[in-house]
Amino acid sequence: MSHIDPFSSLTTLGRALREKKISSMELTQIYLQRLKTLGTEHRAVAELTESLALKQAAMADRRIASGRTKSQLDGIPFGVKDLLATKGIPTRWGSPGHHDQVFNYDATAVSRLQDAGGVLVAKLSMIELAGGGNYNVAGASATGACLSAFDKNRWAGGSSSGSGAATMLGCVGYSLGSETSGSIICPSAFNGATGFRPTYGRVSRYGAMALCWTLDKIGPICRSAEDCGLVLNAIAGPDPKDFSTISDKLQLHRKNGKLRIGLVKESFKQNKAVECEKAYQSAISVYKKLGHEVVDVSIPRMPYGLAVEIIVNAEGASAHEHFIRGERLQMLADVNQVGGLAAALETPATDYLWAMRLRTEALKADSVWDKCDGIFTPVFYHAAVPADLPFDKSFGDMGGSEGPENLLGWPALAFPIGFEAGAPLGGQIIGPAYREDVCYQLAREFQQETKWHRAKPAHA
Amino acid sequence: MDDKISRREFSKKAALAGLGLAVPSAAISADPVQTDVEKLDRQLAKPLGSDAKKIAKDALAAVQRNTKTRLRTKLPENSEPCTIYVPARRA
């Protein structure tokens, strides 16, 4: 079997395939083997899709041999969060109560990757029902607590847990995750991955489990911003099956020149975040060295978090009402989810509509983009939390002030900016709606100057 | 006094009890959230276990607190939610 670093960039993997230094079949077998060992040890796998993967790899090899390569992703194995429908393969949404669920169609994001020649090797583990019932333990999943790629005593983050861990364990070329409020950004930070939450509507939600129709986003979790760009380009674009998709063309490679990076007020001291502050200041130095301007900014204070909570309760309870009222609710792994989802049924319509009206009012926060092009902030003030402690005893604050980014559908790109006791620390660039190019440019330039994103877990 | 009631009266009382209107006073909890949880529990296919019921009570209290908290943020009178209905064209 040919030798290739399973942590290679997508550009390197694609070139190796096209130059026939390795076949897609060989690459697929390497990743399948790693999924069976490392992926299983870290509980990152919900379902291996071995027979489909081998078939898709054989087809990719035939295309490559005849010079009819479909895209730069042709022949490269990938995994998807188990929230995305895959034809004929179990899609359990991380929930023990959905153990026998199988769809007869593919989610649009999955079919677009397969149309680009991608090889689906695994459905990746996730928090049950994407955590809509306010989960409080890492084990809130049909597959148990998913463990961080860098430290098996720590949690991999959620709800796209397996996507973050498997990507940084070198078990897949890249993966897809989803975010309602933090579910791409958090596992990216806790695993040292680079994750791209696109603008709301940029990627079709068709075939994705709905937690919140008005907040859910699908995005790539990769090992670099450049890889995220390749994957996002393949999955973005309007879809007649999802009316919320936007028609604006994704343009990641605009010539933006020097940018203004906004810094919001941080709470390092209150969170005793010495290492995080060091990493954050060091990242700012990198940006200054690159010639970007750094400016202090503030976002109008509004109860954004409360609005998100109400929307998650109302839309989540509605989307899953049949399940919540049914006998299977109590099969969920985390009792907090059981009680939380049941109570969410009682969210008043006036509360929900207040939250949706607050979203209109929150558009005032767009004024921050008069002063800066993108905002840089830590994802959390700490590295991944212990896997065996309830979150109310382990989680600190998220970086920056509680912002409106998810309410307003702003994109963000999370990437590692340093380490704390052997575990990665994440930073993120948040951009205005439709301006993924700003996030992409700033994250990519940072990664050209630093090596944090290239760190590999010692045991992988 | 004759304790017997007519079949019609019995049906009426039973129906009212089903609506929660004729519950014996001793069964009414002094804790309104607890009453709400009991009511919610009766709507589920399977009664909640004691742990889940306790969490549901806390979560329900949080839902009710959210209503009070959000009222502190006054929105412009008559402002529209971010999503409004758009009539679909026939394909």
Whole-angstrom Cα distance, residue A4 to residue A23?
11
For tokens 């959230």, name the residue: B33
Structure confidence at residue B84 (pLDDT): 77
Is the confidence at residue B26, as pLDDT, over 50? no
Structure confidence at residue A378 (pLDDT): 97
DSSP letter at A36?
I
Is the confidence at residue B21, as pLDDT, over 50? no
Whole-angstrom Cα distance, residue A102 to residue A9?
32
Residue of A nearest to B81 (CA): A357
Q: Is B47 helix (H, G, I), strand (E, B) or coil?
A: coil
Optimal mutation site among B44, B50, B53, interface A, most CBs of chain A within 10 A:
B44
Nearest in space to A352 (alpha carbons), one of B83, B36, B88, B77: B83
Structure confidence at residue B2 (pLDDT): 44
Structure confidence at residue B14 (pLDDT): 52
Q: How confident is the model at residue B8 (pLDDT cuts 50, 70, 90)?
A: low
Phi then psi for residue A314, to 5 deg, are: -70, -50
For tokens 């002094």, name the residue: B30
Catalytic (active-site) positions of A: 81, 159, 183
Structure confidence at residue B11 (pLDDT): 58
Report yes or no: B65 at the A interface, CB cutoff 8 Å.
Answer: no
Is the confidence at residue B7, as pLDDT, over 70? no
Structure confidence at residue A25 (pLDDT): 98
For tokens 């379902």, name the residue: A47
Q: Is A20 helix (H, G, I), strand (E, B) or coil?
A: coil
For tokens 């009266």, name the residue: B9
Report chain A residues whose CB lies below 8 A from the CB of B60.
343, 346
DSSP string covering A98-157 = GTT-B-SS--HHHHHHHHTT-EEEEEE---GGGGTTT--STT-STT-PPBPSS-TTBB--
Structure confidence at residue A399 (pLDDT): 82
Is the confidence at residue B23, as pLDDT, over 50? no
Structure confidence at residue A216 (pLDDT): 98
What's the gap in Å between the CA of B7 and the closest CA on chain A?
A: 33
Single-letter code of the amino acid located at A80: V
- Sequence-distant (6+) residues with CB within 8 A of A139 are A145, A333, A334
Report chain B residues whose CB lies below 8 A from the CB of A342.
40-41, 44, 48, 52, 56, 59
The residues of chain A scoring below 70 in pLDDT are: 1-2, 401
Report yes or no: B87 at the A interface, CB cutoff 8 Å.
Answer: no
Report yes or no: B80 at the A interface, CB cutoff 8 Å.
Answer: yes
Is the confidence at residue B3, as pLDDT, over 70? no
Report chain A residues whose CB lies below 8 A from the CB of B67.
348, 350-351
Residue of B nearest to A342 (CA): B56
Report chain B residues whose CB lies below 8 A from the CB of A330.
46, 48-49, 52
Phi then psi for residue A77, to 5 deg, are: -70, 140
- Token pair for residue A343? 């109570």
